Structures are given as C-alpha cells and as structure tokens.
Amino acid sequence: MDIQPKKKSLPHVLIFPCPAQGHVNPMLKLAELLAIQNIYITFLNTKYIHNRLIQFNDDIQALLECYPKLQFKTISDFHSEEKHPGFGEKVGDVILSLSLYGKPLLKDIIVSEKISCIILDGIFGDLATDLAAEFGIQLIHFRTISACCFWAYLSVPKLLECNELPIKGDEDMDRIIRNVPGMENLLRCRDLPSFRKMDDSDTILDKAALLTQQSLKGNALILNTFENLESPALSQIRLHAPKLYTIGPLHHHLNTTKKTSSSSSSSSKSNFFEVDRTCMTWLESQPLKSVVYVSFGSITPMKGEEIIEIWHGLLNSKKPFLWVIRPNMVQEKGLLKELEEGTTKEKGMIVGWVPQEEVLSHKAIGAFLTHSGWNSTLESVVCGVPMICWPYFADQQINSRFVSDVWKLGLDMKDVCDRKVVENMVNDVMVNRKEEFVRSAMDIAKLASKSVSPGGSSYNNFQDLIQYIRSTSP
C-alpha cells in the first residue's frame, strides 16, 4: 500500500494591528503584500476602526475583490460607541481593554478560521503567546516603531542599572546617555523615547520597555525599516531576536511590487478621516519644491499657543505651507477660524486630512514639518523630502534625533515651540542649508528604493518571511 505524504494545508495568517492610524496603515500594506503572494489573510480590526475604514476609503471593497484570499473580520473593543476613547491620545484605554479581555475573541477566530500563523502588533504584549502555544501555531510580532527606538526600549533595564535613568528633571535633559550600545554619545536624555509630554511619570516608559521584551517572545519579529537605514541598531536587536525580518518601508515595498507586477490597482488606503483632495489642486499651482508640508500625525494634541507659534513661524518664513489640522485638534473656539481666515491662498492652505503619501511625492513639496511618527518619517525618506522635527511622544524623540544627527535629513526643534525657531529652521532647510539636506535625502531615498527592489534587503527578507510562513504551516 502506498503511503501518501501528508499534504500541507495552505497557510492562513491572522493580522491584528493596534486600533491606531500609524499601526493599521503599515499592517494593511503587509496584508496586501502577503495577499499578492496568494496567502490567506484575515485582517482583524475593532468594529470602531472598521466602520471608519468603510466610511472613509472607497476602495476597501475593491481590495477584497482583487484578493479573494483576503478578508476583514471585526471584534469588540469593549467600549461603547457613545463613550469611546477614540484612536487619539486615549487609544491606550482601548489597547488595555483588548490586552485584558481580547484573548477569548482571538481564540474564536483562530479556531473558526483555522489560523496557522498570527502576526500580532507587538503593542499587545503577550496577548497571543499562550494561544499560539495552545494551538501549535507561529506567532510573529510586528512593531511599528523604528529599530533605533526598539533598541532603546530594550536598553531601558541597563540604563536603570547604570543610573542613567530615571531622568532627574528638566535640568537633566542635555545629559549624554552612554549605555545604549551602538548609540554612544549620540543621545541626550531628551532624545530617549518619552511619554513626558502626555504623562509626567516614567511608568509608561517602563511599560513600553516591558512590551518590547515581550516582542522577543514570539517565533519571529518584523520591523518596518530597512537594513541600510538602521544597521547598527538592527545588529544589536539581532543578538536578542535572531529571526528578525526587516521588510520596509512597507508602503514603498507594496507600491514597488505592484509596479513591477504591472498591477493596475492602487495600493490599499486606510484613512480614519475624510480626505480633503482640494490640496492637490492647490499644490499644482505652487512652484517646484516651494511648499512646507506640515502635519503632526493622527495622535499629537496641540495647545492653542503652540499652534499660534507654528503659524506665525510659517508666515514669517514667507514660504507657502500646507498644514493638516485634524478635526477636533484645536480645542480653543474660534482659533481654527482665525487661522483659516489669516491664511490666504498665497500664504498657504489648512486642511483636515490629506493623502499624505501623494502630498509628499508632489514636486511642489520642499520640506516636511513633522512630529516624526515612524510612518511619516519613512514616507518622507522615500520621497527624499528634508524634515523639520517637532516630536510629541514614544519613538518620535529618538526618530527626530536620528533625522538630524545621524541621517542628516533636516533639523530637530525637539522641545522648543517658538515662532523664531520655526522661521529660522524653515529657512535653513528650504534655503540656507538646502543643498546638504537635499543631497542626503536623495541618497537615502535611493537606498530605500534599492532595498525594496528585486535583490534588495527588504525584498529578500520578505521572500524569506513568506518561505518561513509557508514552511511552518501545519
């Protein structure tokens, strides 16, 4: 009697991002990249986020039609629609409730969909560790932060041991940190990943450091970066996580893959806000590399006085600007109206939400005033746009340090918000030191493109990741 070898079942990957814009964006790009490779994908969102995706992205249905093996599923996040914390500054409440109560919901999906591999947002800590063991399936953690931040988080216990942490107040901010291997003499206290603008205590930093330790406990780790950009940090991380796949910048990886396969469909969009496309027409009317694009991402809150400083700095620089001020970002009644009325079409444009990748790749954009969120940083890197950084929290403090002092892609305002500084930095990046920043930006943009093209590091690592997912499916 012939004994047939047991047929391997097709892998089915469950992807579960944290319900925040900067997490859903890159993880949906990864989902699409895997779907192109004919892998079954269940993309899991909270109901609250899924409703927004449906509301603000016309092409979600087309995406499902394009990839029959891709499906969306939703779960509750344990918050009522009326009292929902949202996906901004209070998204931590949603992460907490999912981390505490989400396990049975994940288990149901693993069983009903016959999941063979979980790609879990590492911000959920050990949410799926027991489940993966129980079902004998692979667990891959995906972190949406930069590798330099990941490595700084991993170094927190050592910094505490060496008394380099905690930071002793405002007067301690310029002290140099010496015990993050690979970054000696680069980081000041103020450049460490930080939550001090949203919370005075160090407890969140401890928590973020712990989550990062937990990210090492999966079978593999994915980072949205590329080897040439962060190789010293990556070498350090690999000592703790040998199965590390760097496959970014994911948005560029997806666009390049689609271009080389001459796919006619555009890449998936996952806006949480209504996109205002009128800015694209306005950009068309602006001279080459003349506009400062200003956006502080989806979470950063702003005080009225900070908005006013930035606005005056931009006006005084005499460079036209395109500024994203999200709905509800300005609490002060009348301030937004005042800004809009004072911003004539010649001076600039204020909008609620833009198609950022498209904006950054527009020929009229000369610089990006950014909060240094990791997605925004990568999107700017890919387009070769120099940056002026005003970080708010988490990895943004260290990302902005790397932008200014390692990659030399621009300037870091860091903890200062002053109209004169804004004006001077805009002029330095757009005029006085333009050439040096544009040169580095172009060089790094080329490296980014090379990494996601056939034979490049992110391209090869992605092939290895697919191979790994296929070979470990039961």
Residue positions annotated with a catalytic role: 23, 121
x-marked contacts with ligand UDP along 275-314 as a string, rule CB under 6 A: --------------------x-xxx---------------
Question: 20 vs 137, which CB is nearer to ligand UDP?
Answer: 20
Does 19 contact ligand UDP by CB under 6 A?
no
Residues that bind ligand UDP (rule: CB under 6 A) add up to a total of: 19
Does 22 contact ligand UDP by CB under 6 A?
yes
User: Considering only 29-37, 340-348, 370-378, 418-426, which stretch makes contact with ligand UDP by CB under 6 A?
Assistant: 370-378
Question: 137 vs 275, which CB is nearer to ligand UDP?
Answer: 275
CA distance 116 to 132: 9
Question: 11 vs 373, which CB is nearer to ligand UDP?
Answer: 373
CA distance 302 to 297: 11
Tell me how far, at minimum, the Cβ of 8 lies from ligand UDP, in Å: 36
Question: 32 vs 379, which CB is nearer to ligand UDP?
Answer: 379
- Residue carrying structure tokens 């010496």: 178
Does 267 contact ligand UDP by CB under 6 A?
no
Does 193 contact ligand UDP by CB under 6 A?
no
Question: 22 vs 125, which CB is nearer to ligand UDP?
Answer: 22
Among 67, 195, 353, 462, binds ligand UDP (CB under 6 A): 353
Question: 137 vs 205, which CB is nearer to ligand UDP?
Answer: 205
Window 317 to 346, contacts with ligand UDP (CB under 6 A): 324
Does 379 contact ligand UDP by CB under 6 A?
yes
Q: Exposed (0-12), middle (13-18) or buried (19+): which is 68, by Cβ within 10 Å? A: exposed
Tell me how far, at minimum, the Cβ of 397 lies from ligand UDP, in Å: 13
Does 122 contact ligand UDP by CB under 6 A?
no
User: Considering only 14-22, 91-99, 110-118, 333-341, which stretch makes contact with ligand UDP by CB under 6 A?
Assistant: 14-22
Does 194 contact ligand UDP by CB under 6 A?
no
Tell me how far, at minimum, the Cβ of 303 lies from ligand UDP, in Å: 17
Does 21 contact ligand UDP by CB under 6 A?
yes
Question: 379 vs 412, which CB is nearer to ligand UDP?
Answer: 379
* Site residues for ligand UDP per CB under 6 A: 20-22, 25, 271, 295, 297-299, 324, 353-354, 356-357, 373-376, 379
